[in-house]
Amino acid sequence: AQSVTQPDIHITVSEGASLELRCNYSYGATPYLFWYVQSPGQGLQLLLKYFSGDTLVQGIKGFEAEFKRSQSSFNLRKPSVHWSDAAEYFCAVTYTGTASKLTFGTGTRLQVTL
């Protein structure tokens, strides 16, 4: 079954520090990968997505993600975190043949200290 794993439940970083959130997808057909962010009490918003091409993808709010097929990973990064980035981040995947089924990971809660 298609799945994504987010190993880190909770991460705390200082404002201005760099950030990396991990995501691993289940190996199989070509994955279509997404990162979403959920601010407290809100729905989810798309940060970025990847299917093919350049393995480093730029998204909104200064986020980027790198696809590494050899590691089945799609990690989210930001060079300098702002206090407003505190939120929960979800990695998600679909595959060819299951396009309508978008599967999410368990999420990583980011806390930013001043």
Partner 1 sequence: NAGVTQTPKFQVLKTGQSMTLQCAQDMNHEYMSWYRQDPGMGLRLIHYSVGAGITDQGEVPNGYNVSRSTTEDFPLRLLSAAPSQTSVYFCASRPPGQFTEAFFGQGTRLTVV
Question: Does the protein bind partner 1 through residue 99 (CB under 8 A)?
Answer: yes
Strand pairing partners for 37?
45, 89
> From the list 23, 87, 90, 110, which residue makes contact with partner 1 (rule: CB under 8 A)?
90
Interface segment toward partner 1; rule CB under 8 A; list 12-20, 34-42, 53-61, 73-81: 34-42
Instruction: Tell me if 46 contacts partner 1 by CB under 8 A.
Output: yes
Instruction: Say whether residue 63 binds partner 1 (CB under 8 A).
Output: no
Structure tokens at 23: 């995501």
d(CA 112, CA 68): 27
For the record, the structure tokens of 25 come out as 């997808």
Instruction: Determine contact, residues 90/33, Cβ cutoff 8 Å.
Output: no
Contact flag: residue 73 with partner 1 (CB under 8 A): no
- Between the alpha carbon of residue 74 and those of residues 2, 22, 77, 112, 114, the distances in Å are 15, 7, 10, 22, 28
Count of residues that interact with partner 1, criterion CB under 8 A? 26
Residues of the shown chain interacting with partner 1 in the complex, contacts defined by CB under 8 A: 6, 9, 32, 34, 36, 42-46, 49, 51, 90, 92, 94-96, 99-107
